Structure 1
């Protein structure tokens, strides 16, 4: 690993690339079943970077190897609410044979860091750590308390990370009112102009188990109560259902901003007309125009000539704010009789207005580094650890600032093969984040 402690008064821009590479080299793959290596080694490295500059981070495990790191920087204004600045140390698995490079080598090639987690989200982790280290080197104190947190298990819902910390260590977040984390603040080319997408909303999440019951029997017999057949019909209806277009306040404001940049009006009868103006970002935005329900797993039977008595499917639902019950009711209707539903994992949707002092500070920090750019709010179709923090009344935003080359298919980097991030984008992000954390 890079000896960052020996670099003395290194700036955030000096350190951020090396820290990101170091973090990527820790294999923190999260398979969702407890079989991965865990986050302990990466957490010890993270805690070491913070201790090197005189801080006293707390490293705690929610289960063996599932490690989290939290430290508080004291601000100058005790009356101001604390800001939680958080990342996660786990990553989704990578199939090495699918990649053109070693996914855990953090190779610097063509000006980009290649590796699993380079985008989701060890890039932001590195920005946070490098800025905090510079603040400590220079004696710069924030106006409000900063709670710096690196969580485990975000990629599997946070049961060993943010959710566990909220349930068991809420003292760590005393006085916190707002938070920033991943999947926002990155740039996209829209209408020939660079626009930064600041995440102010997240869809709700529901991983559902559907179980059909039937009459078990010999595979040679006539069976009009077949659990596999019943489940297959239910899954087919759910997978084929076209959810109607419904625009939240955040998405409507985003689309209005796109219309201003492109001159193209949004047509709910043909959303593709405007979405094609977004290029690769359409992947993110297209899924926020409606609820979604995608079948992902099927399980049934144990022998070719035995009709099983039960069959199970998993469905990944992502819901617009306030529509969880509506979506579940529709899925029950689509499934029909004889199919039982239960949640494997369920989490809230989030939406907050694109206004207020923190939003103004984030927009201002971006404008200071890229004066010609515009900033638009958007809804994330996935989820972040801000969901867990919201249970403490903490308002969360996605703000991992990156100025990206127009030709980079950034949305494809999330959980994708050959994940990579430009080194100079990290340095840009460190400058923006430094402005925010030292002034807000």
Structure 2
């Protein structure tokens, strides 16, 4: 089939992404202030996929999840899940140069909240499925499509809810693709598309220090909750976590060395990965645990020492380092501070798998000369929920990006946008990939 025959699919990928952006599906993290945007997205997707009746699941009104199962010719084969989330993080219009919910197309990009996280994937996926329908294609195995709510918070209204309350929708599913991965990286030696094979573990710590409450002129700092907490945060912020090279990290490092054509020093990756441009930071933090203080709350008056101070720390744990992390973190926190945890496990998948080979062939068919590159993300996705069902998860939302495009800066960033040509190419790659299933 000629590229020209695929133009309608490519046009749909762009249009669908823009139309989804125009639905404000902001997830505030507070059920009282999160509207019905996720359900409206589900309804729109349902209308586009009318040839494949789906099932809606709602833990709460306005928080719909849509699941579509496309029957395969050989239903006894393990099924494949392709998933994406419809919710987005908040956007302050006053700080954007465009309306974040207008889905504006200009300067070769689709602009708006969710453009790369991840209404682009939904637009490309739906367009690819519709194109395969027009071609009369029927997959060998069942393909399950899940468009879910609440990924940006904790998934308790989305994928976590489906896994816990409706696991039957994943019957027979052995593998899945979703975020983060698929974006291209360009260096002088060529272009490579990332395939997400691992996610670091997540550990969100709430630190609570207690001390003597009283007048600022009389309470010594050794009894001051703020002083105790700030000292702990300083130790955490300045700690250098060691580079961790397990099997997954070693495979990522080796692939980067082949792409860049030289040996890399794991202890000095920031400089070594500079040729990757804006995406370099997405790779360098994959090799070690990170701990970033994010919130601090204490006191009500300048002249009053509060009896309690609270802070949060966002920790991402290198695979296999959980026990070491807990021991070292406790030493950094020190005595007199209570710690509460919200955690999610690290997940990983093999790079030498048939499904990865399908991704590689799809990339090569659309972008001759390009290759694929294993990738570990520091972010947390719905793969953490799916892993509880034993599903092997990959990140593959393919986008052919311009070399200087600030892809990581678009995630949750101001003026989030995705190149139109990236959507057009990505829809073609997804079509090739799905044709092999």
Q: For the superposition of Structure 1 and Structure 2, which TM-score range results when normalised by the shorter chain? A: over 0.9
Q: State yes or no: 1:79 paired with 2:76.
A: yes
- Match of 2:393? 396
Q: Partners in 2 of 1:222 and 1:251 — Cα distance?
A: 49
Query: Match for residue 349 of structure 1?
Result: 346
Q: Partners in 1 of 2:391 and 2:9 — Cα distance?
A: 27
- Is the 1:154–1:385 contact (alpha carbons within 8 Å) kept by the matching residues of 2? yes
CA deviations on 1:11-32 (whole Å, 9 max, x unpaired) are: 4223111111100111111222
Cα offset, 1:257, TM superposition: 2.2
**What's the TM-score once normalised by structure 2's chain length?**
0.94
Residue 10 to residue 278, structure 1, CA distance change in 2 (3 Å): closer
CA–CA distance in structure 1, aligned partners of residues 381 and 292 of structure 2: 19
| Post-superposition offset of 1:123 | 0.3
Secondary structure at 1:254 match in 2: helix
State the partner residue of 2:415: 418
The residue correspondences of 1:251-400 to structure 2 (distance < 5 A) are 251-343=249-341, 345-400=342-397
Once superposed, what is the RMSD of the aligned Cα atoms? 1.6
Q: 2:320, 2:268 → 1: CA distance?
A: 25
The whole-number CA distance in structure 1 between the counterparts of 2:296 and 2:175 is 40
Task: Report the CA distance shift for 1:11/1:141 in structure 2 as closer, same or farther (over 3 A).
Answer: farther
Measure the CA separation in 2 of the matches of 1:187 and 1:248: 24
Structure 1 residues 273 and 307: CA distance shift in structure 2, 3 A? closer
Unaligned runs of at least 5 residues, structure 2: 1-5
Q: Give the unaligned 5+ runs of structure 1.
A: 1-8
Alignment match, 1:47: 46
SS in 1 for 2:403: coil
Deviation of 1:138 (Å): 3.6
Which of residues 195, 199, 215 in structure 2 aligns to 1:218? 215
Aligned partner of residue 275 in structure 2, secondary structure: helix
Deviation at 1:254, TM superposition (A): 2.4
Kept in 2, the 8 Å contact 1:190–1:258? The answer is no
What is the alpha-carbon distance in structure 1 between the residues aligned to residue 7 and residue 41 of structure 2? 21
Question: For the residues of structure 1 that align with 2:169 and 2:147, how far apart are their CA atoms?
Answer: 12
Match of 1:164 in 2: 161
Residue 428 of structure 1 corresponds to 425
CA distance change for structure 1 residues 145 and 265 in 2, over 3 Å: closer, same or farther? same
Structure 1, residues 120-157: CA drift from partner, whole Å, max 9, x if none? 10000111111222333443211111110001011112
SS of the equivalent of 1:58 reads strand
Match of 1:92 among 89, 94, 110: 89
| Offset at residue 195 of structure 1 (A) | 1.1
Q: For 1:99-138, what aligned pairs fall within 5 Å after superposition? A: 99-138=96-135
| Displacement after TM superposition at 1:439 (Å) | 1.5
The answer to whether the 8 A contact 2:67-2:144 is kept is: yes
More displaced 10-residue stretch of structure 1: 211-220 or 194-203: 211-220
Contact in 2 for aligned 1:267/1:273 (Cα 8 Å): no
Partner deviation per Cα, 1:87-123 (whole Å, 9 max, x = no partner): 0001111111211111111111122101111111000
CA distance in structure 1 between the aligned counterparts of 2:233 and 2:352, rounded to whole angstroms: 41
Q: Mean alpha-carbon deviation: is it higher for 320-329 or for 399-408? A: 320-329
TM-score by length of 1: 0.94
Please give the alpha-carbon distance, in whole angstroms, between the structure 2 residues aligned to 1:268 and 1:439: 37
Distance 2:45 2:64 in 1: 11
More displaced stretch, 194-203 vs 253-262: 253-262
1:56 is the counterpart of 2:26: no
For 1:315 and 1:272, how far apart are their aligned partners in 2? Answer: 23
User: Where do 4+ consecutive residues of structure 1 move more than 4 Å?
Assistant: none
Q: Are the equivalent residues in 1 in contact too, given 2:85–2:149 (CA < 8 A)? A: yes
Equivalenced residue count is 429
Give me the whole-angstrom Cα distance separating, in 2, the residues matched to 1:439 and 1:218: 71
> What is the alpha-carbon distance in structure 2 between the residues aligned to residue 427 and residue 64 of structure 1?
34
- Aligned-partner SS, 1:293: strand
Change (3 A) 1:253 1:190: farther
Q: Give the corresponding residue for 1:154.
A: 151
- How far did 1:294 drift? 0.4
